[in-house]
Structure 1
Amino acid sequence: MNLTALYNNLYTRSIDDIRNGNNKIDRLIDDKNDKRRGLTVLIRPNDNIQGAIARFQQELMVIDKDQYYQPLPDMHVTVLSIISCYDGFNLEQIETSKYIRLFKQSARNIMDIGLHFQGISASPEAVIIQGFPLSEGLERFRDQLRENFKASALQQTIDARYRLTTAHITAVRFREYIRTPQKFAERLENYRDVDFGSFKPKEVELVYNDWYQKRHIVKTLHKISIK
């Protein structure tokens, strides 16, 4: 299934629940006792992309300000979850230098990871910005990470839940039932094909993170500049 079809299917399965006020609530967003942590390779969008997403978020805030709108510094595209977040994981359990070495090895020949963000999709729990790779660079990098980490003896959970193929950015997570769900769904419909822009990332990061990539929790273990 190509990305357009995947995003369309996700939206079609979810929009009626949102429109009818049956969105799913994430009750851990504000839970200070949430100890789920993991390791992730990610890309951060540039200022232009962030600004376009922020304007979209502001339109939704007018309708319902009580949802969780992903802060600009936390916005990201997941390249690959090396260790998916689970309760109790911490950096003392691993040798970070070995993870950094494999990360650097996997990124040795990467280049030309262009990304285009157009339209939105949704799940019962969230609203996402649809991302589309402009070349094979992202998938080649993912495959190199998969190959190197799966061949190692290091703790990893790559593809344990599902094989990541999208390049989306999460914009909104639902922490309450939507106040005026029909208006909210109508605004989403208006953004189904809006162009949020394109960019070529200048670096990739290996981070220790919580489920939401909250800046005050995330620790950047290593950054690599890319062409």
Structure 2
Amino acid sequence: MALRPVQVNIKALDGRAVGRFWAQALGWSAFSPGVTTYVGPAVAGAVRGFDWPDPVFLGIDVVPVPEAKTPVKNRVHLDLATTSAAHHEELVARLRALGATPVDVGQGDVPWTVLADPEGNEFCVLEPREVYRDTGPVAAVVVDCVDPRDMARFWGAATNWTPLDVSDDHATFRSPGGGGPHLEFLRTPGVKTVPDRLHLDLLPYPGDDRAAEVDRLRALGATDLDLGQGDVPWTCLADPEGHEFCVLSLP
């Protein structure tokens, strides 16, 4: 039994605007059937403009909320991949033209660029790295944590993703099929103090039982989470360090 990460959920005051930003930033399509805006790799003829769940890439699901982002740095963020120094420069310029702004999160003198989307969600545009050569536009989903080894234990058991590297300082996973972004846990000073503005959504495989999967996650150390979601067809949980995530129902 295992769950597959299928999308990154982003909370936003203006979900449509933030969804448009990320669609244009990644060169993907945006689909807004209601209040929620879905973003994914463009596929000709697909009902949404893209397939869901995509077999390789993690989509983005932008959900409107009434609360603005706090000044506290998000403990979950996206890293974007580049293929050359020229691509890095061009991408940063294009993102700033779309409404991204430079931010200082204490990174110092580094070869990557730290930006924030129009509502202040931090993300990084990485310098070219061979390890991300085949990820697509999103190199990694990065989670700040206190104990990468414990996060690796939980998330490795929760999903079927393959551990690439696990140490006291970081842990990295990737879909067993290859392709798509890495999932990385980074030892970071401090502890989680506010709800995550970004979180992962997981989906059971066809034929698996969602309730049984949720029970399995609880046995691994996940805790139930009440975000005021009410009666919904998904389950909100938190991992052992309090990072929120959702287990969705099969479409």
The TM tier, using the shorter chain, reads under 0.3
Q: Which has the higher contact order (CA 8 A, sep 6+)?
A: 1
Greater helix content: 1
